[in-house]
Amino acid sequence: MTGPDAPSRASQPIGRVDHTPPNRPSRGPSEPPTLHGDRVTLRPLTIDDAPALLGLLTDPGVSAWWQRASWDQINEEGAVVFALEVDGAVAGSIQFCEETDPDYHFASIDIFVGDAWQGRGVGSEAMRLLIDYLIQERGHHRITVDPAVANARAIHVYEQLGFRPVGTMRAYERVKDGTWRDALLMELIVEPSGGEGAQSR
């Protein structure tokens, strides 16, 4: 997985939990929303996005970490996938998967951002938009990411967003030369704080 770029507002708090998760959430929203930020828009993916996204996957800063090279793997079965737009241009993609069992309720996020938009806070803003949606609208209190151990840039950004390392998953992902590389499981935990919103830890 490729990481987003350096956040523009690293100190900005993430999300608030205003309700407890339902006993059995639906398996993904039937109609994913369009999420708007200051510069970034996340909208449901369409087949028309294929040429732009497949092109971005050839960017060196993306292909080094993102192993998905076909449309079926971008538009992954079981995931809710968004096109990431900046000023009307497709700049990348972000997606989430959910465990909806109420006893193991959590979501995981994957993201890639084209080289031309890296280093501009675009990925960080997209992550914040999706994290807030997952907490506020989908009732999640735990969100995970799993960057490659060697992807120091992504790991730094995720730490700035409030994620903390859990542990190394050895031989987790097969890369293009057929070898396996390690990944770092990271999590963001959000808990109620005295009825005054949420805190991450």
Q: Give domain status of residue 2, yes or no.
A: no
Distance in Å from the first CA to the final CA of the chain: 23
Domain count, the chain: 1
For residue 77, give the CATH number of its domain: 3.40.630.30
Q: Give domain status of residue 79, yes or no.
A: yes
Owner of token pair 């990431």: 84
- Which residues on adjacent β-strands are paired with residue 94? 82, 111
Q: Give domain status of residue 3, yes or no.
A: no
Q: Give domain status of residue 50, yes or no.
A: yes
Q: Give domain status of residue 180, yes or no.
A: yes
Collapsed DSSP state (helix, strand, coil) of residue 74: helix
Q: Give domain status of residue 136, yes or no.
A: yes
Q: Give domain status of residue 18, yes or no.
A: no
Digit-by-digit pLDDT tens for the chain (201 residues) are 455 443 333 333 344 333 334 444 444 566 889 999 999 999 999 999 999 999 999 999 998 998 765 666 677 788 999 999 999 999 999 999 999 899 999 999 999 999 999 999 999 999 999 999 999 999 999 999 999 999 999 999 999 999 999 999 999 999 888 899 999 999 999 985 544 444 455
Q: Are 139 and 22 in contact (CB under 8 A)?
A: yes
Q: Give domain status of residue 6, yes or no.
A: no
Q: How far apart (Å, rounded) are the C-alpha atoms in residues 200 and 186?
A: 13
Domain span at residue 117? 35-200
